[in-house]
Structure 1
């Protein structure tokens, strides 16, 4: 039930933030497909502007990063059978992302694009509502939650789809996929079982003692939930300007 998200949209946010309101006429930082340049460029921008936004480019600030609604449903024969909804949550820690590798982003946008990145920690916090069963125990409640990934590594990929508008080609992100592994994961759900403190404390302890097994069981459901959220973000940002305007020749 935990995020392994987050964040291909950061590539898009970072590329755009470099040029401010004059974009797309300013010189671009990197040539098509120059992976080393892109990694250095994105890391520098996140360090300098990670907590800022840019209204001119319709970009939200990275920290905290708002998530209006996210639903994770896990069922079938899985020992983790839940319906979990997060509403008006924040993702905290995106401004500390470190990119390691980049692939793709050449002149032919209709290919696979990939990013590898790391964070010291990422936290999703805010209101939640849950019902179902986790391993052998029933779970229910609504309140505030805090889910933290410790030292997560991510691989994010998508395939570019050319979209022609007014004679120019824009990129739409399709087939978005996100994979991650974390050194540790911490769960906290407040007000479980209608505020029964003893039951709630025991359940939170159980979740944290069995974090790895729970994470593996919910992996596909979580990936689907976060993929939908961030695929929409990427497509929206890349629809701002023609694809060629994001790079130098």
Structure 2
């Protein structure tokens, strides 16, 4: 979620690849001034619309929809009414190609400000194997199977701090110092296959509980979700910034 927000924006703004052929690959995408917020937003939306599902191999942009994640885990919080170990593996995140960027602010030549990236996504779906164990409110929960979790009308808000890393003459790279991501959906629905080893009555009751209390459940999971995606985003952005200089990405 957050990782794609920053990644597609940065690559969407660049019309010059490492080999100098991105203008052919990214037809219609201009190289933006680093403080031109409208240009950055337009570039972001252009990439989402035209390349989110295919990726851009020449620039190292992987397909973003579906976005495949090998591992994703939220650990127990003993002080929370949602005290669970929840893990996913080989999960797909779908729906980002329909996202729309709303704001891209804070970019400056000296990278001295916190960068804010905001987008709205009509529907985000997580699909893949899960495992859960713990307690939800006052009831125990356990299960292992396939999950289908849908976030509707979701706002994604990322805050990124960068620092300049000069390398040689006229070459300035960036390094991620900190990244925080807030994910705010208007509704969440949970479908977890094989809860309680397939015991239908227990599974039906738990699904009713978690879907009726979706807001409370998500609020408890939200910090862990934001932290996990922040770590993923930092890893990906460090790779991008280590490869492409600010001079290649922007008109600075």
**TM, length-normalised to structure 2:** 0.89
The total of aligned residue pairs comes to 244
For the 8 Å contact 1:24–1:246, the answer to whether it is kept is no
Aligned to 2:6: 11
- Which shifted more, 16-25 or 98-107? 16-25
Query: Which of 56, 71, 85 is the aligned partner of 2:87?
Result: 85
2:204 alignment counterpart: 201
Cα distance between partner residues in 1 of 2:241 and 2:21: 12
**What secondary structure sits across from 2:2 in the alignment?**
coil
1:79-228 alignment, distance < 5 Å: 79-166=81-168, 168-228=171-231
8 A Cα contact 1:24 1:245, kept in partner = no
SS in structure 2 at match of 1:152: strand
Contact 2:103 2:118 in 1 (8 A): yes
User: Following the alignment from structure 1 to structure 2, what is the Cα–Cα distance between the partners of residues 9 and 124?
Assistant: 15
The 2-side partners of 1:23 and 1:106 are apart by: 24
Q: Secondary structure at the match of 1:151?
A: strand
Q: 1:49 to 1:79 in 2, by over 3 A?
A: same
Q: 1:56 Cα deviation (Å)?
A: 2.1
Q: Secondary structure at the match of 2:44?
A: helix
Structure 1 residue 108, shift from structure 2 partner: 1.2
Q: Which has the higher contact order (CA 8 A, sep 6+)?
A: 1
Superimposed CA distance per residue, residues 71-121 of structure 1 (whole angstroms, 9 cap, x where no aligned partner) = 101312111101111101010011111001111222112431111110101
* Counterpart pick for 1:239 among 228, 238, 242: 242
Map 1:32-43 → 2, pairs under 5 A: 32-43=34-45
Contact 1:12/1:238 (8 A) holds in 2: no
Q: Which runs of 5+ in 2 are unaligned?
A: 24-28
- Could you report, residue by residue, the CA deviation over 1:48-79 in whole angstroms, capped at 9, with x for unpaired residues? 22211122222210110011101101312111
| TM-score, with structure 1 as normaliser | 0.90
5+ long unaligned stretches in structure 1:
1-5
Shift of 1:140: 0.7
Q: In angstroms, what is the RMSD of aligned CA positions? A: 2.0
Seen in structure 2, the aligned counterparts of structure 1 residues 165 and 20 have a Cα distance that, compared at 3 Å, is closer
Q: Tell me the distance in 1 between the aligned counterparts of 2:214 and 2:38.
A: 35
Cα distance in 1 for residues equivalent to 2:143 and 2:134: 10
Change beyond 3 A, Cα 1:235–1:110:
farther
For 1:185, what is the secondary structure of its paired residue?
strand
